Structure 1
Amino acid sequence: MRRLEKLSIRNYKSIQDQTLELGQLNVFIGGNGVGKSNLISVFRFLREVVTQNLAGYTATKGGAETLLHFGRKISKSMSFSLEFAEGDKANGYNLWLLPTDDDSFLIQVEQATYQDKKRYPPPHKPFDIPVAANVRESGLREHPHQCAQQALSALESYRVYHFHDTSDSAPMKATGAIDDNRFLQPQAENLAAFLYWMQEKKPDHYRTIVDTVRQIAPFFDDFRLAPSRLNESRIRLEWREKGSDAYFNAHALSDGTLRFICLATLLLQPEPPAVVLLDEPELGLHPAAVSLLADLLSSSSTESQVLVATQSVTLVNQFGPDDIWAVDRQDHATIFRHLSNEDMGQWLDDYSLGELWEKNLLGARP
């Protein structure tokens, strides 16, 4: 499996200059405003770049001035570098951006890279594949080189999942198109259609999701998923309670239960995304559900690379130091520090990671 091994970020929001060497499971902890969510949003930003929506996305976020670290007076440019690896083969993607007078960005340099580390190990540098220069939008889609297309495939797949909106008008509670089932949408807008596809085509995975939901909602029996009798191209999330024939839809579920259903669907689906990106998934969950979520994240990391930003002590308690990144602000900039078993061994004999975090012995104070 090709994995994102290294990510370098320069002058993006609160992140001035950081390089992260990522593992399969990466849990980022820290207080409010330290920059955890900014890291997760890097992936959304890069996806918008390679899908040729840099100008539109920059405008919706308040312009280049807002996205640059302390604005263009401090940050004259912004850059990203990603290195993907599978065995001895590595390819990458590099992007340099300059702010423009109209508060947008110019792509100064865009390139893909390739390196056979067995034949040309470091300090040999990767082979650069020029993609675009001095343009307003990415040229990655049109570039024929295999490495460029591999980078495009990875970057296009990045979706940041937020299941926080469980209000009465939340898209996940509404009726949706039954054929919207190729992947789970970032806010689970197509939850009913996606579950229906699994019920019909991937029943083993569907049953696993149902059984998992029952662990945190003992009253839950099963979903009732079928095309609308009034319009067979539409579907909505319906379910039944144990021992009852009454009609229930998503509005009858608690916020925490509905969010957990979304998380279980994401993490237990048959074809998970290469990278799972979650920002504070513990929101509104009972502590028992948070513990089960940790198990799902660990299991999912055997097939997908997982990046999670959290403020949950309960969630942190379920992981080891090698899974944890402490996030702080120093000199007005976000700093990422990877913990390790070697550093924490003497403390873990007496305390859990969550307790050490609460005692401010990890930094990243909650």
Structure 2
Amino acid sequence: MLTSVAVSGYRSLRDVVVPLHGLDVVTGANGSGKSSLYRSLRLLAGCGRGDVVGTLAREGGLQSALWAGPASLDGARKRGYAAQGLVRKGPIGLRLGFATEEFGYLVDLGLPQQTSGGEDSAFLRDPEIKREVVWAGSVMRPGAVLVRRRWSVVETRASAAGDWDAGWDDDWESDPPEGNGRRAGGRSRGWTELTRSLRPWESMLTELADPERAPELLRVRRMIAGWRFYDSFRADPAAPARQTQIGTRTPVLADDGSDLAAALQTIRENGQPGLDAAIADAFDGAVLDVTVTDGRFDVELHQPGMLRPLRAAELSEGTLRYLCLVAALLSADRPPLLVLNEPETSLHPELLPPLGRLIRSAAETSQVMVVSHSDALIRELGVADDDGAPVGLGSPARRLTLVKDLGETFVEGQGLLTTPPWSWGSRR
């Protein structure tokens, strides 16, 4: 289970570390940074899928996604000065990371290098991966680093007995790139080189994960690959979820709901409990069927008093979205992390109690984050206000309220003692 997520330099998230508990409900006013936190998690997942650079480019490039304020707001806060730009001491970049109790991962994205005297590339909107680190434990420390990437060079800690020099400080700050972690004469400093030709748009998670040479990368990649994100399913007449589709066994609902009927049928045939109860709970005794004609799947909802069932193309927006949420929350393959962005959109208030029960049930076996404006849904989730409440799968929901001050997002009530420990290290 993720215990913390850290973001630095992304939109309003200048430098924030968010604690996670099992079932977390992210709230806050419009513009407080909820969507930025959701997007930053998707960017992290993109490292495991190999599309983080493309995702940022579609947002307008790294320059558009970067924190737009000054490097420090101390003067504005402490002495009432207007926010002013300062001479930047560190490199410009966007940093993302997460930690569990067993291991952590971070990625540092920066601006592409400009050519001097030659023609500029047409891909200057593409960010570059400058650094990646995988470490053991919940906090990155020099001695806990397992795999490290700096620019094109990737190294893994050597496992041969006696190869590790306990006196060597392996922080990147004291390891010049030309040395590449090796002593004069080629003797290893405890690191085995995996490659020195990783391209700036490639993640070491996708290119170098190997059960023998880099099992740590494989473990992180597999974990990230299981994360799922659902963000306001379309429900217009042309929505993918309304169309009949060729169906195959579908243990995971697509993020646009295009394989809704096949996903619901997979849940039923896999014997997942709760499907019929979730439909009857929300729609007063209704019964769900999935019809198959020449391999094309469609949904039919039988409701009391209706002479015929309603197909997906005929359902109301709220009903269709609720069915998509049912398919996501009762998935045949339970994800390690499920993130729902404003699931209450277009739902009638009467559907929020059954939705809350579905989310709590899913949180028994998966870590869940819900980004929501709805006080009614938050009440249904039974948020615990006690800081000493248990954490982990099946624990009470915890509220994370985001607030913004001088354009910067904070977790409300978070202080030095309540912020999870985190270290970014350095590119140098």
Task: Write out per-residue CA displacement over residues 184-236 of structure 1, whole angstroms, 9 at most, x where no aligned residue.
Answer: 1112211101111222332x52xx2222122221262x2231321xx32x212
**Partner in structure 2 of residue 321 of structure 1:** 385
Once the two structures are superposed, the pairs formed by residues 60-75 of structure 1 within 5 Å of their partners are 60-70=58-68
**Partner in structure 2 of residue 293 of structure 1:** 355
**Partner in structure 2 of residue 211 of structure 1:** 277
Identity level (%): 23
Secondary structure of the residue that 1:225 maps to in structure 2?
strand
Secondary structure of the residue that 2:262 maps to in structure 1?
helix
**Partner in structure 2 of residue 77 of structure 1:** 93
Q: Which amino acid aligns with 2:279?
A: V
Q: Does 1:251 align with 2:313?
A: yes
The structure with the largest alpha-carbon Rg is 2
1:22 alignment partner, one of 20, 23, 43? 20
**Partner in structure 1 of residue 372 of structure 2:** 310
CA–CA separation in structure 1 for the residues paired with 2:243 and 2:251: 18
Task: Write out per-residue CA displacement over residues 300-334 of structure 1, whole angstroms, 9 at most, x where no aligned residue.
Answer: 21211111111111122232225101111112111
CA–CA separation in structure 2 for the residues paired with 1:285 and 1:242: 20
Give 1:242 deviation, angstroms: 3.0
8 Å CA contact 2:253–2:263 kept in 1: the answer is yes
Structure with greater helix share of residues: 1
Give 1:70 deviation, angstroms: 1.3
Give 1:247 deviation, angstroms: 4.3
Secondary structure of the residue that 1:227 maps to in structure 2?
strand
Aligned residues: 323
8 Å CA contact 1:114–1:147 kept in 2: the answer is no
**Partner in structure 1 of residue 148 of structure 2:** 130
Pick which of 24-33 and 291-300 moved more.
Answer: 291-300
CA–CA separation in structure 2 for the residues paired with 1:179 and 1:172: 15
Task: Write out per-residue CA displacement over residues 126-159 of structure 1, whole angstroms, 9 at most, x where no aligned residue.
Answer: 2331246242221212232222111111222223
Q: Does 1:93 align with 2:157?
A: no
8 Å CA contact 1:266–1:272 kept in 2: the answer is no
2:8 alignment partner, one of 7, 10, 35? 10
Cα distance change on mapping 1:153 and 1:287 into 2, 3 Å = same
**Partner in structure 1 of residue 418 of structure 2:** none
CA–CA separation in structure 2 for the residues paired with 1:242 and 1:311: 32
Give 1:47 deviation, angstroms: 2.0
CA–CA separation in structure 1 for the residues paired with 2:267 and 2:368: 22
Cα distance change on mapping 1:132 and 1:242 into 2, 3 Å = farther
Cα distance change on mapping 1:338 and 1:296 into 2, 3 Å = farther
Give 1:123 deviation, angstroms: 8.1
Cα distance change on mapping 1:243 and 1:79 into 2, 3 Å = same
CA–CA separation in structure 2 for the residues paired with 1:8 and 1:269: 28
**Partner in structure 1 of residue 392 of structure 2:** none
CA–CA separation in structure 2 for the residues paired with 1:99 and 1:336: 28
Give 1:164 deviation, angstroms: 3.4
Give 1:26 deviation, angstroms: 0.6
1:334 alignment partner, one of 397, 409, 414? 409
Structure with larger RCO (C-alpha < 8 A, sep 6+): 2
8 Å CA contact 2:204–2:217 kept in 1: the answer is no
What TM-score do the two structures reach when normalised by structure 1? 0.81
CA–CA separation in structure 2 for the residues paired with 1:182 and 1:216: 23
**Partner in structure 2 of residue 356 of structure 1:** none
Unpaired stretches in structure 2, ≥5 consecutive residues: 71-84, 115-123, 153-199, 387-397, 415-428
8 Å CA contact 2:232–2:341 kept in 1: the answer is no
Give 1:285 deviation, angstroms: 1.8
8 Å CA contact 1:113–1:127 kept in 2: the answer is yes
Q: Which amino acid aligns with 1:200?
A: E
Give 1:66 deviation, angstroms: 1.4
Cα distance change on mapping 1:53 and 1:289 into 2, 3 Å = same
Once the two structures are superposed, the pairs formed by residues 1-366 of structure 1 within 5 Å of their partners are 3-70=1-68, 76-85=92-101, 90-100=102-112, 101=114, 102-115=124-137, 126-131=144-149, 133-134=151-152, 135-141=200-206, 142-144=208-210, 145-179=214-248, 181-202=250-271, 204-205=272-273, 208-218=274-284, 220=286, 222-228=287-293, 231-232=294-295, 234-242=296-304, 244-318=306-380, 319-321=383-385, 323-337=398-412
Task: Write out per-residue CA displacement over residues 51-77 of structure 1, whole angstroms, 9 at most, x where no aligned residue.
Answer: 222332222111111111118998811
CA–CA separation in structure 2 for the residues paired with 1:236 and 1:307: 30
CA–CA separation in structure 1 for the residues paired with 2:65 and 2:141: 33
CA–CA separation in structure 1 for the residues paired with 2:347 and 2:232: 12
Q: Which amino acid aligns with 2:130?
A: Q
